[in-house]
Structure formats: C-alpha cells, structure tokens
C-alpha cells in the first residue's frame, strides 16, 4: 500500500521561501512519477510540478516556472518542492501525488493520471 505524507507547509511572507516534503512508503520515489498539485478555495485543483521515475526529468506549470523546483532524495524515498519568491496567489493546499511508472509528458498535469494522493499541507503566503 503506497502512502504519501506531505509536510513543511505553513505561513510565510510574500517573497520568502518554503520547502515542502513528500515522504513515500510502500514503494520508492524512483519507481513512480511524483507530482505536486495545489488547490485554493473556490478554485479547481491545478498541476504545479512533477518529476519522472527512473532518470529524473522535471515539469512545471507556467505559473511557477523559475520560482519552484522539485527534486528527490532516493536514499530517503522523499520528494521536495522548493518554493521561492512566493506570492499571495500561491496560497493553497498543496498535495503530493504518485503514479507507479511513467506518464506521457503531455498528460503529466492531468489529475486522473495519478493513482495515489497525500492529504495535503496548507501553504499561506501573506502580503
């Protein structure tokens, strides 16, 4: 049974950094495509970033490209989302998601592609 647990959320001032962690159990980060999504009240859940299984390749939503970086630590079976230059619009619940194996690049941002989901961690960016 794959379990995903997000941590690292909290309150941060605009312009500041925050790092989210997704701990994976029941499998390993190198065996799955790992994604990050977020959802704000009244908005649809949206794709943020992902990192492929095997040899890692990263993908980002245009809204976070250049500010956010996702990476993994294979020894710890964890993935990270480093968020820099945060904006109030980044305020959301951030979710870790996983799919065993790969996802076609053109489908990387599609929520139904991901089989496993964490419970989310709240990120609030104040101005």
pLDDT in tens, the chain (127 residues): 899 999 999 999 999 999 999 999 999 888 999 999 999 999 999 999 999 998 999 999 999 999 999 999 999 999 999 999 999 999 999 999 999 999 999 999 999 999 999 999 999 999 9
Q: 119: how many CB neighbours lie within 10 A of its CB?
A: 10
How confident is the model at residue 96, as a pLDDT?
Answer: 98
3-state secondary structure the chain: CCEEEEECCEEEECCCCEEEEEEEECCCHHHEEEEEEEECCCCCCEEEEEECCCCCCEEECCCCCCCEEEEEECCCCEEEEEECCCCHHHCEEEEEEEEEECCCHHHCCCHHHCCEECCCEEEEEEC
Residues in the chain: 127
Annotate 23-45 with b (16+ C-beta within 10 A) or e (fewer).
bbeebebbebbbbbbbeeeeeeb
């Amino acid at each position: 049974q794959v379990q995903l647990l997000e941590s690292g959320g909290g309150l941060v001032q605009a312009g500041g950094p925050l790092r989210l962690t997704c701990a994976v159990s029941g499998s390993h980060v190198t065996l799955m495509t790992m994604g990050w999504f977020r959802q704000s009240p009244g908005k649809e859940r949206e794709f943020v970033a992902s990192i492929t299984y095997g040899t890692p390749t990263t993908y980002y939503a245009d809204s976070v490209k250049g500010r956010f970086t996702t990476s993994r630590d294979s020894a710890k079976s964890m993935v990270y989302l480093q968020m820099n230059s945060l904006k109030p619009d980044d305020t959301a619940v951030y979710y870790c998601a996983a799919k065993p194996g790969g996802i076609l690049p053109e489908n990387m941002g599609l929520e139904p592609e991901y089989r496993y989901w964490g419970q989310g961690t709240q990120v609030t960016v104040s101005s």
